Amino acid sequence: MSIRYNENTKQLILETASTCYQMKIDNMGYLNHLYYGPKLGQNDMSYMFRTYDHGFSGNPYDMRNNRDFSLDSMSQEYTSFGVGDFRVNSIAASCSDGSRCAEFRYEGHEVTDGKYSIPGLPSVYDEGGQAQTLIVTLLDTAANIRIKLYYGVFEELDIITRCAEIINAGSEIVWLRKASSVCLELPFGKWDMIHFHGRHCMERQPERVPLFHGIHTIVSGRGMSSHQHNPFVILCDREATEENGPCYGMMLMYSGNHKTEIELDQFDSTRVVMGINDDRFRWELSPNTGFNTPEVILSCANGLTELSHRYHRAIRNNVVRGQYKLSHRPVLINNWEATYFDLNEDKIVSLAKKAADIGVELFVLDDGWFKNRVDDNAGLGDWIPDTNKLPNGLDGLIEKINALGLKFGLWVEPEMVNEDSDLYRAHPDWAMTAPNRAPMMARNQLVLDLSRKDVHEYIFNTLSDLLSKYNITYIKWDFNRPLADVYSHAAPSPRQGEVTHRYYLSLYKLYDRLTKAFPHVLFEGCAGGGGRFDAGMLQYSPQIWCSDNTDPISRLTIQYGTSFGYPVSSIGAHVSATPNHQTGRLTPLNTRGTVAMMGAFGYELDLTKLSEDELSEMKQQIERFKELEPMIHNGLYYRLSSMQESGHYFAWQFVSPDRSRSLLSIVVTNPLANSAPVHVRLKGLDSQTVYSVNGEFECLGSSLMNSGYTFPQLTGDYPAMQLDIVKVK
C-alpha cells in the first residue's frame, strides 16, 4: 500500500518507489508536515522537531500558557491565515462578518484506490489503477470553512500530486481571496532555487540562485503561464549536481495566472506555496459550494537528471492523452517564415511539392489564410477562407496538398478578435474591455471573453465546422497576446475577480470537447511561441511550439531550460532559414538539424529557394529523425553540459529504454583558439555492453561513462556533431 495511517502516532505516510512523505496530526489537531525525501527506516520523523520558546511568536489561545507552541514556527501541510502564522499563507478569505482569519484543524481522512480527478481542470491520470488517493479534511468551526487536501500517490512514477478543495460549510457567503494548491515545508537545509524566466523569443532561461532570507516570488499576472516565468520551480541542495544531491520539483498544471512564493524564514526554515495568482482574484463561495485548485506535481530525487526523468515519464505517460501520446508525430513544414501574410495557392503548392520530395509528411498553413487577413490588423474571429488568396477555397488547396501525399494542418487563433472583423462588429461585448476605458492593444487584437458561455459555444462550433468540413489532421492553436483590461460584460461587478480563472475553466472544457470529438487531430499549443508551455496545456496538446525564436543557437538555451521539467516529445522544434529571421545569425544546416532533432521535428523556411544539395541534406535529416524518433521521444534524455559550460558548448544525449542505442549531440557555440578539447562523459549506457561509436571503434559502456569521449576540434560557424552509439554485443 502506498498510503498508511498509524493510529498510535497519528501519522500519515505516503510512499513511492524511492520516496517517503510524512505528516502528523498533533495533540491540538493541527496537521504538521514531518518529512519528504528518500525512503527511510525511521517510521516517525517527529523526533527531528524540538519545541522551545520562540520569543514574540504568538500562541493559540488554548496553548496560551505554552510559549513553546506557535504556528509561526511549525511546519504545516496547509496553513491557517490571520491567526498567528505570519509567513506566506496557503489561503485567504473574507467572511460575511468582515473577519479575515481561520484556524484549520484536522477533521478526518480517507484513503481510496485510484487517482482523484479535479472537476474542470487537467490533472495527472491513472490508467492502470495503480495510484492511491489520500483525502485529509481540515475545518475552521468559526469561519465554517472546510478544506479537503488531496494527495495522489504514484508509486512507480515516484511522484505525488496535490490539490485542495475549499468548501463553504456555513450559511453565509465567503469571499475567497487566495487559494493555493500546495504548501511544502523544508524545515532544514540550505537550498538553491532554479527557476525558468524569460521573455518572448527567449523563454525558460534557467537561473540558479541561493535562497536568502525573505520571500522569493515567481509570478505571472499576464493571463497565461507566460514567457516570463514558467510555473515550475526546483529547490536543490547547494552542492547538488545533475547526478547527486537532494532536489525537489514543484510543477503547477495550470495555464493561467500563477504564483509561487518561497520563504526562507527567521528560523532558517523554507516554505513553498504554489497555486493561482491571488492578485485581483476574488471568488464567491456560496453556502455548500466549493472551489477546486489546480494540481501540483511534486517529486524529489537524487540529482537534477533523475528529477527530470521523473517529470518526463509522468508527462509522457500520465498527462498527455490521445493517439499521439507515444506514437509517431508527423514531420511537418510550416509556411510562416516562408511567406508570412503574403501567401497564395501557387506559393503554397510549390512549397508543398518541395516538401513532399524530401519526405515531409504534413503541411501546415499558418496565419493569413482567412478573409481580410493581409496583416495583423484585421480578420481574427472570421474564420472564412480568403478566396483571393485561395481561389479554389481551403478544400481545393487541401485536395492538392493531399494529392502530393501530405497531410494538412491549419493555424488558428480562436481566442482572439480584431476590431476590424465581422465578429467584433456584431458582438463588441464579447471582447475583454473595461467600461469607459480604451483597451490595451497587443498585435492589434483583443481577447475574446471565454468565460462567457456564448463565446465558448461560438469558438467550439467554429472549430468543429472547420474540422468537420475539411480534411485537417493538425491544428496549431495560437494565443498571441496577454490578458489586460480583464472584464466580462456578462458578469456582475462583485464577481469580476473570477473572470480569469473562469476563462481557463472554459478553455480546458473547450479543448476537452474538441480533442474528444476529433481524436485523429494533433493539436499543437502555441502562445506567441512558448507563452503557454505548461503541464496543463500538455493534457490536450501533446506538443507545444517551444519559441517563436527559431535561431538554433538561441534555441539551445531555450530547449535546455525546457528539458528540466518537460519531455523532449513536447518541444516543437523546426529547422529555419539562415540568416535567421529573428537574430540574423548564420548557421550551418547540419547545426540547425541537430538542434531541431531535440523535439517534435519540422521545417519552417522557403524550400523553393534552396539548392539541390541543401534539399538532399534535409531529406537525409528527415530519414535520420524518423529512424531515431522512438529513442528521442520515448527514451531517456541527459544533459551533458552544465549551465556554466553553455558559454562554450551544449551537449546532450538520448538513450533508448533498453540501452541498446544512444545518440550524443554537441553544438559549439563559441569556438576558442588553442583551447582544450571538448571532453564529455556519457550517461545511461549499460556498463558491460560493447558499443560501436559512429562505426569507428568499439568500446564498453563503462569506458564511455567513466573515461568519456573526446571530440575532434570543431571550428567554424557554430559547428555541430552527432555520435551514433549502437550495441554490438
Q: What is the C-alpha separation between 264 and 189, in angstroms, rounded?
A: 11
How far the first Cα of the chain sits from its last, in Å, is: 40
Q: What is the C-alpha separation between 626 and 622, in angstroms, rounded?
A: 6
Q: What is the C-alpha separation between 387 and 14, in angstroms, rounded?
A: 61
Query: Residue 409: phi, psi to the nearest 5?
Result: -125, 160
- Which of these is catalytic: 85, 103, 140, 534? 534
Residue 430 DSSP class: G
The residue count of the chain comes to 729
- If DSSP states are collapsed to H, E and C, what string results for 204-243? EEEEEEECCCEEEEEEECCCCCCCCECCEEEEEECCCCCC
- If DSSP states are collapsed to H, E and C, what string results for 448-478? ECCCCHHHHHHHHHHHHHHHHHCCCCEEEEC
For residue 320, give the C-alpha cell. Answer: 498527455
For residue 148, give the C-alpha cell. Answer: 479537503
Residue linked to cell 528518500: 38
Residue 154 DSSP class: E
For residue 105, give the C-alpha cell. Answer: 484543524
Residue 142 DSSP class: T
Positive/negative CA dihedral, 147, 73, 231, 37:
negative
614 is catalytic: yes
DSSP per-residue string spanning 653-691: EEE-TTSSEEEEEEEESS--TTPPPPEE---S--TT-EE
Residue 424's identity, in one-letter code, is Y
612 is catalytic: no
Nearest partner of 668 among 657, 654, 683, 679, judged by Cα: 679
- Which of these is catalytic: 72, 419, 614, 686? 614
Cis, peptide link before residue 579, omega less than 30° from 0: yes
Residue 342 CB coordination number (10 Å): 11
Task: Please report, to the nearest 10 degrees, the dihedral formed by the alpha carbons of residues 269, 275, 279, 281 taken in order.
Answer: -140
For residue 383, give the C-alpha cell. Answer: 474564420
For residue 122, give the C-alpha cell. Answer: 487537467
Question: Cβ neighbours of residue 20 under 8 Å, at least 6 residues apart?
Answer: 13, 14, 35, 36, 37, 38, 39, 40
Query: Residue 725: phi, psi to the nearest 5?
Result: -120, 110
Question: Cβ neighbours of residue 96 under 8 Å, at least 6 residues apart?
Answer: 170, 172, 173, 174
DSSP per-residue string spanning 51-114: ----TT----GGGTT-TT--GGG--BSS--BSSS--S--SEEEE-TTS---B--EEEEEEEEES
In order of 409, 595, 612, 622, the CA distances from 358 in angstroms are: 18, 19, 10, 8
In order of 96, 257, 417, the CA distances from 290 in angstroms are: 16, 20, 33
For residues 73-100, one letter each, b for 16 or more C-beta atoms within 10 angstroms of the residue's C-beta and e for the rest, the string is bbbbbbbbbbbbbebbbbbbbbbeeeee
CB 640 within 8 A of CB 721: no
Q: What is the C-alpha separation between 635 and 653, in angstroms, rounded?
A: 10
DSSP per-residue string spanning 250-305: EEE--SS-EEEEEEE-TTS-EEEEEEE--TT--EEE-TT-EEEPPPEEEEEEESHH
Catalytically annotated residues: 534, 614
